[in-house]
Amino acid sequence: MIQRFTGHYQTIVPHLFAQVAIDYRRERIDTPDGDFLDLDWLDRSDSRQLVILSHGLEGDSQRAYIASAAHYFARHGWHALAWNCRSCSGEMNRTRKLYSHGQSEDLETVVDHAVATGRYDQIVLVGYSMGGNLTLKYLGTLGKSLPPQVTHGVAFSAPCFIQHSVDSLERPDNWVYKRKFFRSLSAKIAAKEAQYPGLVDLSALDRVSVWRDFDRAFSAVIGGYDDLDAYYRYLSSGHYVDGTTVPVLIVNALNDPIVPDACTPVDLARRHDLITVEQPRQGGHVGFSLRGKDYNGMDERALAFVNGR
């Protein structure tokens, strides 16, 4: 019980009070399927090193944990690129699909764009929650085709086997997270239906109260799946990350209220030389605050891992 309470506390409190001002340079790029992605750069110094930051579900580049990481890496001589998933930059995207935990092809578009600038000798990927899952899936899927500039991947609070996180959200003490996501995603689904009439049955919004039913009625349909188990497999980086050819760090706190222990590929890490799993007792979900610091434990650990520590 105490562990659950501290998990909620360490998840919620840092996000209530963390305000990190940041002045990005925005760039819009096209995707191969005719959509767009908005990229936010912190790149005003001379550097040949870039960190690409991937946000969580219904997040964006302005979230405190993203801005904190961008500032932290910048102070250590890096450029930062915080990209916004489709529909997450303040404007609805163009195509029928939104974004998902498994849509790593959008991260591939971002990485390829950064590589094509010719500005960077080293690129590292850091993702949070959904963004961590995307990072791991991208690295595992690309495998030996990974651009040589990409040297490391780091994922915090990553639901590597998404079905366990979905089930965790049904716990009574997780109602606040579930309600928040339901409200936000329902509004986007309604907007997408307005763009593409007949895409989904909006009347189901009044009947859905369980996350799996929400995914079955909306997320899987928009993603092009009619089988929920197949959809969850597509979303889950744990089925792909063993293909990575660069060092990967996964940090999932044991008191994370959203990502239970079953989401973490501990057994895979034991037999894979390039995958490191850390499960600290504290940290919550994308929390990991440090008392008296203007950065958090995720910033510190990510850069240390990249530097070989």
Please give the domain boundaries of the chain with CATH numbers for all domains: 2-163+240-306 (3.40.50.1820)
Question: What is the reported pLDDT for 256?
Answer: 97
Torsion of the alpha carbons at 145, 238, 220 and 190, rounded to the nearest 10:
-90
129 is catalytic: yes
Using CA atoms, how far apart are residues 164 and 257, in angstroms rounded to an integer? 11
Q: Which of 47, 285, 289, 299 is catalytic?
A: 285
The average pLDDT across 178-192 equals: 95
Of 178, 151, 127, whose CA–CA distance to 245 is shortest?
Answer: 151
Range with the lowest mean pLDDT among 138-147, 221-230, 283-292? Answer: 283-292
Euclidean distance between CA atoms 261 and 252, whole angstroms: 8
Q: Around 93, how many Cα atoms within 13 Å sit in the side-chain half-sphere? A: 24
**Is 101 labeled as catalytic in the residue annotation?**
no
Catalytic residue among 71, 256, 289, 299: 256
Identify the pLDDT of residue 5.
66
Whether 55 is a known active-site residue: answer no
pLDDT of residue 75: 96
In the predicted model, is pLDDT for residue 252 greater than 80?
yes
pLDDT over 80 at 107, yes or no? yes
Mean pLDDT of the chain: 95
Report the share of the chain in percent with pLDDT over 70: 98
pLDDT at residue 217 is higher than 70? yes
What phi-psi label fits residue 203: left (phi over 0), alpha (psi between -120 and 50 degrees) or beta? alpha
Q: Which of 172, 173, 161, 118 is nearest to 136 (CA)?
A: 161
3-state secondary structure of 51: strand
- Give the pLDDT band (50/70/90) at residue 259: very high
- Whether 11 has a pLDDT exceeding 70, the answer reads yes
**Residue 233 tokens, joined:** 């497999």
Mean pLDDT value of segment 173-180: 94
What tens digit of pLDDT does each residue of 261-297 get?
999 999 999 999 999 999 999 999 999 988 878 889 9
Question: Does residue 229 or residue 8 have the better pLDDT?
Answer: 229
Q: Please say if the pLDDT value at position 240 is more than 60.
A: yes
Q: Which residue has the higher pLDDT, 18 or 112?
A: 112
Q: Is the pLDDT of residue 50 over 60?
A: yes
pLDDT surpassing 60 at residue 231: yes
Q: How confident is the model at residue 3 (pLDDT cuts 50, 70, 90)?
A: low
Looking at 54, 129, 165, 168, which residue is catalytic? 129
Q: In one letter, which amino acid is 148?
A: P
pTM: 0.96
- According to the model, what pLDDT value does residue 262 have? 97
Residue range 49-59: average pLDDT?
98
